[in-house]
Amino acid sequence: MIVRIAMTPLLKCYMPSAFFRSSASVASSSIPKGEGAVSMVQGASRGIGLEFVKQLLEKDRNGHVFATCRNPSQSAGLLDLKNRFPERLSISQLDVTVENTVKATAEFITERYGYLNLLINASGILSIPDVLQPETTLKKVQQSALMLAYEVNAVGPILVMKHMWPLLKIGGGAAAERDAAVVANLSARVGSIGDNGLGGWHSYRASKTALNQLTKTVSVEFARRKDPIVCLLLHPGTVDTYLSKQFQRNVPQGKLFTTEFSVQKLLHIINNAKLRDNGKFFAWDGQEIPW
């Protein structure tokens, strides 16, 4: 997902439109509060996020999904799912670099559903032509790239958690038959300091490490407050998406996953999450990753 950052003039072309909810996105009648599990997928326009929306709708016939992205009207995949699931899928515009859109989304979910049982933060950036590329040497590190990756990959998901927190506390895990509500932030193995034996990719690595620390810190607060929320960090593996396309050449045979396979594995982890898993960092296969 490509997003903009206000402090970088070069990225003005990515500025989002005003907060958007098309009549096609939310035309279905209001869902009564207390009816079925409610999941939110942030970063749902394509790739892993879109596949999460698809599988959540297909696997839970009573569940509702609230999907967000920067430009909903430009996501053919989301619009197709809306046609297939008009009563159970709501779509709204959200830009993680514009906190007002996050706040507005929370208000809309409060009005429409009243609670959340699952929050998936799936958006992220690795490269943008002429703006951001994974660094192969310290000589190529730029302040603008570091700040952009941090704002989108770390700050954005935490702001979403901040505004969805009251909804997650209300929802808990009852409607989804879990111990608690779940926040699943998509991280990456390269964000692990203990697993870093190759170096490089300074901006992306550091932003995912920051996401890990922020999520862990929030998980400690939730546990201290006894909020019924489990925070997970998930590494999806190397998945065949737009984000990884230009870096797939050196992926070992059998290690480039389809979005369908990766999301199946991640949903298994999410659906079996226990309170003891709060604040943990898991790979797609359920193995815990060192910090």
Q: Cβ neighbours of residue 157 under 8 Å, at least 6 residues apart?
A: 42, 96, 121, 123, 185, 211, 214, 215
Q: Cβ neighbours of residue 235 under 8 Å, at least 6 residues apart?
A: 186, 187, 188, 189, 281, 282, 283, 284, 289
Class of residue 177 by CB neighbours under 10 A (exposed 0-12, middle 13-18, buried 19+): exposed
- Vertex 155: Cα angle to 152 and 157 (nearest 5): 80
Backbone angles phi, psi at 138, to 5 degrees: -55, -30
pLDDT at residue 254, rounded to an integer:
67
pLDDT at residue 253, rounded to an integer:
67
pTM of the model: 0.86
Order the strands of the 64-69 sheet from edge to edge.
89-93, 64-69, 38-42, 118-121, 181-186, 229-235, 280-283
Please list the pLDDT of the chain residue by residue as tens digits (291 residues).
443 433 333 333 333 333 344 333 333 334 445 479 999 999 999 999 999 999 999 999 999 999 999 999 999 999 999 999 999 999 999 999 999 999 999 999 999 999 999 999 999 999 888 898 999 999 999 999 999 999 999 999 999 999 999 999 999 998 888 989 999 999 999 999 999 999 999 999 999 999 999 999 999 999 999 999 999 999 999 888 666 556 556 766 667 789 999 999 999 999 999 999 999 999 999 999 999
Backbone angles phi, psi at 8, to 5 degrees: -115, 100
Measured torsion, CA atoms of residues 36, 39, 40, 43, in degrees rounded to the nearest 10? -140
pLDDT at residue 27, rounded to an integer:
31
Residue 181 contacts residue 167 (beta carbons within 8 Å): no
pLDDT at residue 13, rounded to an integer:
32
pLDDT at residue 64, rounded to an integer:
97
